[in-house]
């Protein structure tokens, strides 16, 4: 399961109602990247490493550009790799502070798409005083993207059961995942060894220099917090301000991460069901056993996929996509009504609502293509730290996780299975990060964040010596979630370099 991908406030909520479901696109509209950043099948061999960005208008007040950075910072493998960037220039140039670099998480989520949402996601004070700068990290989106399979083969992969219940399903899943990994190697093998979080953090320092900023100002969401913390570990004296929201604890192993995240999702499911029971308008019929109603529905889908005729592609909702749709609904309280309506539709034999939510998570577009989130997610995670290589370990771990997360534990564990067969060995390992010599840093955590548990924010804040700002609530990440206390504190820190008092809770 993903470390978490920030669902930005302006993403259109899927229009689910008790009697139907629209096929409204549930992801931001993709924008064309500058021609110079178009992905290629192998790294650029151009020798020049850029130290500036040439910007060009790319619509709606945004400017786009690209930056060439070293493919291999060790210098062993020659070549460069292009990064795609976008910026929204400061609205008050007379009082401009500099650039605010942002990342939405994943790993694999597009910073280009994220920045396109700046007018609805970022506070006016930030947009007035900073150029809002997004970039697609190496291996992602409009930068040289990791590519593995086409849309049809991605559909086929997700039609397999990533929560396998018997030997036949486990064998089929292992075979499908092996084929996916082999396709990644064939298509993107030249860049797979070079897409680690550490390399992306070193890219960010190149971006800082190219933007003309003496110090980096950064807001990272979800996995973006790990990217920012890695930058702080590498370049502590190059920081102006660093805000890390929905924090990931780098000391947590891959297996423990799956367990803790599963617990968070399971707890959020119970919270959503409690919310449903408290509102007579909730369309999902739970009776006296809400969690039993969910399990009964999932077992029904596992036995026989549901038609999803109102969702793009006229596909069938199988067990994997039903579980992914369920989990997607936990990422934002704004999606809870949509999740409840999707579950109600599924009860009536229509999988469209859960399918639209699953498509939002997997990055599937209405035309049947996918963004490269799934590919990039595996490429980065499998490289960053060791994962089990024996499929039998995933089954034993899944059984253990099911003890604390019976609904979502199995799929959370098995979505990591690509790392068992990944063609490139891991380069990193779980371990603490530190930032000696850095200015005051800010870590933000939400007490009932299902994707990045609050304990991770506590751990990261301790390691970095950062101020911990807490939001009491549900959903993934805190900034721009509707909590004015959080928004004001984050913006005051980024603009005036005034962090909130230690222990501040909103």
CB 1 within 8 A of CB 248: no
Nearest-Å Rg of the Cα atoms of the chain is 22
Residues of the chain with CATH 3.40.50.1820: 35-140+198-251+430-496
Of 258, 241, 172, nearest to 498 (Cα)?
241
**7 falls in which pLDDT band (50, 70, 90)?**
very low
Quick one: pLDDT at residue 2? 52
Active site residue 222: yes
Residues contacting residue 357 through CB under 8 Å, at least 6 positions apart? 14, 26, 324, 325, 326, 328, 329, 335, 338, 339, 342
- Find the catalytic residue in 449, 470, 480, 481: 449
- Find the catalytic residue in 188, 222, 225, 480: 222
- Find the catalytic residue in 225, 476, 481, 487: 476
Q: With 50 as the cut, is the pLDDT of residue 15 above it?
A: no
Residue 117 backbone dihedrals phi, psi, to 5 degrees: -95, 10
Active site residue 449: yes
CB 340 within 8 A of CB 279: no
pTM reported for the whole predicted model: 0.92
Beta strands, E only, 62-183: 63-70, 80-88, 98-103, 105-106, 130-136
Q: With 90 as the cut, is the pLDDT of residue 22 above it?
A: no
Q: With 50 as the cut, is the pLDDT of residue 47 above it?
A: no
**84 falls in which pLDDT band (50, 70, 90)?**
very high
Active site residue 365: no
Quick one: pLDDT at residue 34? 31
What CATH fold (topology level) applies to the domain 35-140+198-251+430-496?
A: Rossmann fold (3.40.50)
Cα distances (Å, whole numbers) of residue 19 to 111, 129, 169, 342:
36, 46, 34, 10
CB 433 within 8 A of CB 459: no
Please tell me the distance from the alpha carbon of residue 310 to that of residue 318, in angstroms, as a whole number: 15
Quick one: pLDDT at residue 252? 97
- In terms of pLDDT, which residue wins out, 5 or 206? 206
CB 486 within 8 A of CB 445: no
């Amino acid at each position: 399961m993903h470390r978490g991908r920030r669902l930005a406030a302006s993403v259109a909520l899927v229009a689910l109602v008790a009697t139907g479901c629209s096929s409204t696109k549930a992801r931001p509209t993709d924008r064309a990247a500058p021609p110079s950043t178009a992905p290629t099948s192998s790294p650029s061999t151009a020798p020049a490493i850029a130290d500036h960005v040439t910007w060009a208008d790319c619509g709606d007040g945004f400017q786009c550009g690209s930056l060439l950075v070293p493919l291999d910072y060790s210098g062993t493998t020659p070549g460069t790799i292009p990064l795609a960037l976008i910026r929204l220039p400061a609205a008050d140039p007379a009082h401009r502070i500099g650039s605010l670099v942002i990342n939405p998480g994943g790993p694999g989520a597009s910073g280009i798409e994220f920045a396109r949402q700046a007018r609805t996601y970022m506070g006016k004070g930030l947009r007035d005083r900073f150029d809002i700068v997004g970039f697609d990290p190496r291996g992602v989106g409009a930068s040289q993207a990791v590519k593995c399979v086409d849309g049809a083969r991605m559909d086929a992969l997700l039609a397999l059961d990533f929560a396998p219940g018997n030997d036949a399903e486990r064998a089929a899943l292992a075979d499908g995942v092996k084929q996916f990994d082999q396709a990644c190697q064939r298509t993107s093998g030249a860049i797979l060894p070079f897409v680690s979080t550490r390399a992306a953090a070193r890219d960010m320092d190149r971006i800082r220099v190219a933007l003309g900023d003496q110090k980096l100002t950064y807001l990272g969401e979800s996995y973006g917090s790990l990217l920012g913390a890695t930058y702080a570990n590498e370049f502590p004296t190059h920081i102006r301000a660093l805000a890390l929201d929905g924090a990931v604890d780098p000391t947590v192993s891959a297996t423990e991460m799956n367990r803790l995240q599963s617990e968070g999702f399971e707890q959020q499911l119970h919270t959503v069901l409690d919310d449903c029971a408290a509102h007579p308008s909730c369309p999902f019929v739970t009776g006296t056993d809400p969690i039993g109603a969910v399990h009964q529905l999932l077992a029904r889908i596992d036995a026989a996929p549901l038609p999803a005729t109102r969702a793009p592609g006229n596909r069938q909702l199988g067990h994997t996509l039903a579980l992914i749709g369920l989990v997607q609904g936990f990422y934002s309280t704004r999606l809870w009504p949509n999740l409840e309506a999707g579950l109600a539709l599924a009860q009536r034999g229509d999988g469209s609502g859960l399918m639209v939510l699953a498509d939002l998570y997997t990055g599937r577009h209405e035309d049947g293509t996918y963004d490269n989130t799934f590919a990039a997610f595996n490429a980065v995670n499998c490289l960053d730290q060791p994962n089990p290589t024996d499929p039998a370990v995933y089954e034993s771990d899944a059984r253990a996780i099911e003890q604390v997360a019976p609904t979502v534990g199995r799929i959370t564990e098995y979505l990591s299975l690509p790392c068992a067969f990944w063609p490139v060995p891991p380069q990193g390992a779980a371990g603490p990060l530190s930032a000696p010599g850095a200015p005051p840093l800010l870590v933000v955590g939400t007490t009932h964040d299902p994707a990045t548990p609050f304990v991770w924010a506590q751990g990261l804040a301790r390691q970095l010596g950062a101020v911990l700002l807490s939001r009491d609530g549900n959903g993934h990440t805190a900034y721009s979630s509707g909590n004015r206390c959080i928004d004001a504190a984050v913006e005051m820190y980024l603009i005036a370099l005034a962090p909130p008092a230690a222990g501040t809770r909103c």
